[in-house]
Amino acid sequence: MLGHRHPGEGRAPWGIYVGKQAFTHYDFDVYEDYDRDYAFVSVYNGVLFNGVKRVDRRDYERFTGPKRSWGGRHYILLSKDAGRLGDNVGGQGFAWNQPTGKPVRTFGYPAAPHPDGDKPYSGVTPKHCYGRTTAKTVGASWLKIEEHIGLKCAVTPGYDGGPWLLNYNNAKRLGYVNGVTSTFADQDGNDRIDYITSAYFDGETAGVYNAANNTPSGKIVGPNGELYR
């Protein structure tokens, strides 16, 4: 699931992880039904930079991966396999068919301004909200929303897609993903967002998650530091 370490802006000490396949619900794919606004992505093993090697033109041309040539000299940028994402950074659990009214902690990177034009967030620093979910549906009819859950949270777009964590342990930074931010609302009409919603995670959500979780990914770094296409 979601890694729980975040080392800071612009750094990737545990490697770079490339998505292999996204899994979504049929109703979202076909009907754009936001009651199914979520996706689970399987990722390949990570890639870590492993140095630069000067090579002849022949080896340069057949190398698959990042490479540079200047001054008549040819260099390849070698990589090494970093292993699986969850093994390196840990991960959150997954929960479904939970009643509303339970406390959750949500995370994300808000970036856009409020409707009134105020822009309090940079989009590069993580923010969080904490509270109890409600069954109140807030959203536009054209999104076909009937079963969202909500949370009071004064953030802005950019926060969408961030996790809603149930039974979150602040010391361990671990919990169970039980939603993802989908829509934003201004409940008191002052042109400032004060409410967010998520699709309700039920047995069908679990089916999509299990399809992703049971799909193997594997390595994309070859034995000689090359990247598989």
Q: pLDDT digits over 183-213, tens only?
A: 999 999 999 999 999 999 999 999 999 999 9
Task: Indicate whether 1 and 72 sit together in one domain.
Answer: yes
Render pLDDT for 65-121 as a digit per residue (tens, 0 to 9). Answer: 999 999 899 999 999 999 999 999 889 999 999 999 999 999 999 999 999 999 999
Q: Kindly provide the b/e burial profile for residues 118-149, where b requires at least 16 CB atoms within 10 angstroms of the residue's own CB.
A: eeebeeeeebebeeebbeebbbeeebbbeebb
My answer on whether 14 and 48 are in the same domain is yes
Q: Name the nearest CA neighbour of 25 among 35, 17, 14, 16.
A: 35
In a shared domain, residues 190 and 105 = yes
CATH of the domain at 138: 2.40.10.10
Pair (103, 189) in one structural domain: yes
- pTM score, whole prediction: 0.85
d(CA 173, CA 105) in angstroms, rounded, equals 10
* Structural domain span for residue 44: 1-90+203-229
Number of domains in the chain: 2
The residues, ordered by sequence, that sit 6+ positions from 33 with a Cβ below 8 Å of its Cβ are 25, 27, 143, 144
| Residue corresponding to tokens 């994300």 | 108
Same domain assignment for residues 138 and 192: yes
Residue 56, classed as helix, strand or coil, is coil
146 and 221, same domain (yes or no): no
CA–CA distance, 76 with 66 (Å, rounded to integer) = 6
